[in-house]
């Protein structure tokens, strides 16, 4: 099939207005699509596809691009697995545009959400959203946080969404285009990352097109993603609460919320191939390009010249992803890839990486709405023939701060893979610098199952 990329400027697709909710934990928003603009028509077209087609639609979120389908129709959800070539035992996260929409699903009253959300008296008697999650929702939704919820016995969710589990993951993305799409479609949207299964997650529309062109019809291009790693997945139904996947919300941030002071890590850095995954990203090799990925842990030195030949293959090309401490000195024939001493302690670096306070809710999102900027990175080519190595080094620097590394790492892996390198050598970062760093290293370790280098 033909795949179309539809650029959408969120500031030109229509008007979004925050609607206060005086007695609820989260506000809401209203949307007026501008049918006279190409941007508005593109969003409307994609929403109609979500409602009626079995072919999924790709769209941006603040974390990575998602591949969305109506979560209530089995035929549509199966379209996701088909397009991605994704294992069917890997559950999908369901995206919502409002608490009203979520509550309607939890009470299996998809078309009468007013009975639970419109009547504040009923909410005070019984809210289907577990109390443990309310402090998180109030502070971090919409945002890069997925919560694990019980799937009701008569749930409208297609069984393919949960992959046989009695729970499902729910999140509300912090991206105006994603929210507009879900609201217009008026269905909960199941959406994993919009990449071919096991490949690096897509942080730009061109990444989606590279993997899925010919498999889907529509890619909404809302620009590059701001966070760059997927949402944090938490399970508040267990005791103590668990982080099932690290991501855009840190453990330290979670611990500031009542009931989450003792949250624990419930994931591994390697693929969990021997069990049913409770959340996406826990099972199988993931985030990996076709080239071998060699991850140098933060404790390791830079690769020595004498060790480079072991990574070479028939293409005689090596990819190099530098983050914070590695630098190139091509005049040094003995050690052209060098590591400088860190000038900050882990605690100092972590303090610098603390994220600015983001106003919660839709009102906060709309106040901070601005065009996203692409990560700053460019590929440089270096001939290492003068070192006695008949090879080319393709170098990308994505640092120097952790946020830039998170935004740029998947794009760097993809760009080097397109160059047909034999292997990609990646400078790891110190996960003691914060949970964003831990999330990046979690993804890289899963990408680098072939070889992990450390001292």
Q: pLDDT tens across 246-302, in order?
A: 988 989 899 999 999 999 999 876 555 555 555 555 554 556 678 889 999 888 888
| Residues 6 or more apart whose Cβ sits within 8 Å of residue 153 | none
**Which has the higher per-residue pLDDT, 399 or 204?**
204
Q: What is the mean pLDDT of residues 372-385?
A: 72
Helix, strand, or coil (residue 83): helix
Tell me, what's the pLDDT at 353? Answer: 54
Band of pLDDT at residue 111, cut at 50, 70 and 90: very low
Cis status, amide bond into 142, omega within 30 of 0: yes
Cα gap 380→444, rounded to integer Å = 22
Band of pLDDT at residue 132, cut at 50, 70 and 90: very high
The phi and psi torsions of 326 (rounded to 5 degrees) equal: -75, 145
Highest mean pLDDT among 51-60, 115-124, 331-340, 384-393: 51-60
The C-alpha angle 199, 205, 209, rounded to 5 degrees, equals 60
Q: Which residues pair with 293 in a beta bridge?
A: 424
Q: In what order do the strands lie in the sheet with 218-221?
A: 4-7, 218-221, 57-60, 65-70, 189-190, 93-95, 167-171, 145-150, 232-235, 242-245, 264-265
Q: What is the mean pLDDT of residues 155-169?
A: 94
Band of pLDDT at residue 123, cut at 50, 70 and 90: low
Q: Which residues pair with 69 in a beta bridge?
A: 190
Domain extent listing, the chain: 4-265, 292-453
Other beta carbons less than 10 A from residue 438's beta carbon: 23
Tell me, what's the pLDDT at 110? Answer: 43
Percent of the chain at pLDDT > 70 equals 84
Tell me, what's the pLDDT at 300? Answer: 82
| Contact call for residues 71 and 161 (beta carbons, < 8 A) | yes
Which single residue is written with the structure tokens 């993997």? 211
| Contact call for residues 396 and 377 (beta carbons, < 8 A) | yes
The separation between the first and the last C-alpha atoms of the chain, rounded to the nearest angstrom, is 49
Tell me, what's the pLDDT at 233? Answer: 96
Q: Tell me what the pLDDT averaged over the chain comes to.
A: 85
Give yes or no for residue 452 having a pLDDT over 70: no
DSSP label at residue 246: -
Give yes or no for residue 164 having a pLDDT over 50: yes
Q: Which residues pair with 190 in a beta bridge?
A: 69, 94
Q: How is residue 247 written in tokens? A: 């991501």
Give yes or no for residue 120 having a pLDDT over 60: no
For β-strands 65-70 and 57-60, DSSP reports them as: antiparallel
Tell me, what's the pLDDT at 165? Answer: 93
| Contact call for residues 352 and 401 (beta carbons, < 8 A) | yes
Q: How is residue 341 written in tokens? A: 């001493």
Give yes or no for residue 112 having a pLDDT over 50: no
Q: How is residue 67 written in tokens? A: 């591949």
Percent of the chain at pLDDT > 90 equals 55
**Which has the higher per-residue pLDDT, 449 or 383?**
383
Distance of CA 285 to the CA centre of its chain: 16
| Residues 6 or more apart whose Cβ sits within 8 Å of residue 39 | 7, 8, 9, 10, 12, 13
Tell me, what's the pLDDT at 36? Answer: 94
Give whole-number Cα distances, 392 to 46, 308, 333, 412, 419, in Å: 43, 11, 15, 17, 11
Closest residue by Cα to residue 28 from 121, 94, 75, 96: 96
Which long-range contacts does 70-75 make (Cβ < 8 Å, 24+ apart)?
70/185, 70/187, 70/188, 70/189, 70/190, 71/157, 71/158, 71/161, 71/187, 71/188, 71/189, 71/190, 72/110, 72/156, 72/157, 72/158, 72/187, 72/188, 73/158, 74/158, 74/159, 74/160
Q: What is the CATH number of domain 4-265?
A: 3.90.870.10
């Amino acid at each position: 099939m033909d795949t179309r990329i539809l650029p959408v400027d969120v500031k030109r697709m229509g008007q979004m207005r925050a609607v206060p909710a005086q007695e609820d934990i989260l506000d809401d928003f209203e949307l007026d699509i501008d049918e006279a603009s190409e941007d508005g028509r593109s969003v409307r077209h994609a929403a109609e596809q979500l409602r009626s087609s079995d072919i999924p639609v790709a769209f941006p979120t603040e974390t990575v691009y998602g591949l969305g389908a109506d979560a209530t129709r089995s035929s549509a959800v199966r379209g996701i697995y088909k397009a991605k070539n994704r294992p069917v035992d890997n559950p999908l996260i369901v995206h919502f545009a409002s608490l009203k929409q979520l509550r309607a699903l939890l009470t299996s009253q998809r078309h009468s959400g007013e009975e639970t959300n419109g009547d504040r008296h009923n909410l005070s008697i019984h809210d289907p959203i577990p109390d443990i999650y309310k402090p998180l929702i109030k502070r971090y939704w919409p945002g890069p946080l997925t919560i694990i919820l019980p799937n009701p016995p008569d749930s409208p969710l297609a069984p393919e969404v949960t992959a046989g589990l009695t729970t499902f993951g729910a999140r509300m993305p912090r991206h105006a285009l994603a929210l507009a799409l879900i609201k217009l479609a008026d269905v909960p949207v199941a959406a994993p990352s919009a990449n071919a299964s096991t490949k690096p997650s897509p942080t730009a529309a061109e990444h989606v097109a590279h993997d899925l062109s010919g498999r889907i019809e529509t890619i909404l291009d809302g620009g590059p993603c701001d966070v760059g790693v997927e949402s944090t997945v938490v399970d508040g139904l267990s005791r103590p609460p668990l982080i099932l996947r690290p991501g855009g919300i840190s453990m330290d941030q979670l611990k500031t919320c009542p009931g989450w002071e003792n949250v624990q890590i419930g994931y591994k850095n390697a693929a969990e191939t021997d069990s049913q995954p409770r959340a996406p990203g826990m099972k199988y090799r993931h985030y990996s390009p076709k080239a071998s990925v060699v991850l140098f842990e933060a404790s390791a030195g830079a690769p020595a010249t004498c060790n480079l030949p072991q990574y070479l293959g028939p293409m005689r090309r090596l990819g190099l992803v530098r983050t914070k401490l590695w630098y190139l000195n091509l005049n040094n024939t003995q050690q052209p890839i060098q590591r400088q001493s860190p000038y900050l302690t882990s605690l100092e670096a972590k303090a610098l990486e603390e994220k600015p306070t983001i106003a919660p809710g839709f009102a906060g999102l709309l106040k901070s709405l601005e065009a996203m900027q692409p990560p700053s990175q460019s590929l440089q080519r270096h001939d290492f023939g003068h070192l006695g190595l008949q090879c080319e080094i393709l170098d990308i620097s994505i640092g120097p701060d952790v946020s830039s590394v998170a935004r740029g790492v998947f794009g760097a892996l993809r760009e080097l893979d397109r160059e047909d390198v034999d292997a990609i050598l990646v400078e790891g970062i110190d996960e003691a610098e914060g949970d964003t760093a831990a999330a990046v290293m979690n993804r890289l370790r899963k990408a680098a199952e072939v070889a992990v280098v450390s001292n």
